[in-house]
Chains A and B, each alone.
Chain A
């Protein structure tokens, strides 16, 4: 501010900043550290592992060499029997290999990525159309819709889980895997649309109208002006909004748990991680490595979008 700090004040300031940053970052360091520790090292309070132990990551990413299966001698004799077809041998082997022990992390990550990506794209696109209309055009019931969006955004998912589940049962979507995923996609769409519309609407208002006007003078239609002038100018914000929607879908647990419980192959990471944690395979290093890998894409997205994200969220202060 206006006066220079005394040395003591500086020390206090840096100490406070350091304390705050540690408070925020410590759980992340704990996750990273535990994911790299050997089980014998867990009780060690130091964050630095005694030995670097990468097995958990290798296992999750499928880099672990396939373990030789322990087969009882009697079965081994059966397997050595040339009369047995290869197919039968495979089936026998499969019974003894510990298939339930493998956590198909890559599969869950792909599921999560696909649904988050599609949600992000669709939501950003639909929201940009609607936000442009609300920010720039005059039409009936406009302010009702603008305020309605805000209202809708504050109605949390918990209040809608029963009716949405019942609706998808009634329509018959919940009875097939494809239908369930489609329901989930629609739900992620409504969870992201209002905030996307809000952020984009605020942003479009900051673009000078004279730019569109000039384009329309040059013979562009309104739609062309939107498409050729506004959209390219808004690229950074569109990207930010996409990331924001992507992350919301990536993190979502409640509806995934309601809809995907019985479709194990299509589960998303949050649900799969929770299942892993409560299962007998729960081992700290594996859970932490999985957490780390779930976290990583979000942190990368966050770093990419950080600049605009903070501003976009606070302009008008909607998201809490």
Chain B
């Protein structure tokens, strides 16, 4: 190819990516840097700023609420990552079997993933409603496990577990899709060979399925951590009293005594953690 053609192609390529990359640069890359700048200021909602140096960071590191929200986030992350991975894996193995109405079942279990958070949240709130909810009906009136109807979502400690369950329900389908795609490409003769070797179903799962899925499992786990570290809506809308890191940040920035600089400081620290995880993902997972 002549050099003019190469140049023309390069020029066209740049022209085509320019709008998208320009918008992303202006509204993602620049705000990330601006955020670092803001974290050194006392920032008001109306935009006025006063330089405070490292005060936002020292305040934050001396704030017990910050550590509490880190703790809540860690429990949330462990619960949701383990839950979505295990359920997604189980679902994918199940849906990889032949049975009638398989396509219908495959479609139905994707519903939670695509449904708007805002509308399903109310369904969940109703299920756990202390007066009308089916949960209390089953636990108190049918199974007689306790005598008192409890407001699981009203109490932050139990609400955390409802929120974890909700996240598993809502997001296991994406894990399931990733696993299923991989499962379908596992050669059948691997299973046949294992069967000839005398492996039962469990042995075939352990010696064939798991090793084949190793990389996908790593991908799912890492992606779930990255996504759930930033998860806001699913938690806030279902139970605003569960203070994971993003919700703590939101309260700092937009509710009560507004401390946007402090919120910026939290975001900077969180971003550093996130960049580490993304780096790990790009390096270790995408290269595979």
Contact = CB atoms under 8 A, between A and B. Distances in A.
Main secondary structure of the interface of B (DSSP, over half): helix
Nearest to B172: A24
A132 B99 contact: no
A297 to B, nearest CB: 9
Nearest to A158: B246
A253 interface: yes
B20 A193 contact: yes
Contacts, number: 294
A197 B224 CA distance: 21
Interface string B138-180: 1000000000000000000000000000000101011001101
A158 B254 contact: no
Contacts of B230: 155-159
Interface residues of B, number: 99
B81 to A, nearest CB: 10
Nearest to A273: B118
A310 to B, nearest CB: 6
Nearest to B189: A2
Main secondary structure of the interface of A (DSSP, over half): helix
A220 interface: no
B32 A158 contact: no
B257 interface: no
B17 A129 contact: yes
A133 to B, nearest CB: 4
Contacts of B237: 253, 270, 274
A42 B136 CA distance: 13
Interface in A120-148: 126-127, 129-130, 132-134, 137-140, 142, 145, 147-148
21 contacts: A10-B99, A20-B94, A30-B126, A31-B119, A126-B20, A133-B16, A137-B10, A137-B12, A155-B271, A162-B35, A164-B27, A166-B38, A167-B31, A197-B20, A247-B116, A270-B233, A284-B132, A298-B114, A299-B114, A314-B177, A320-B220
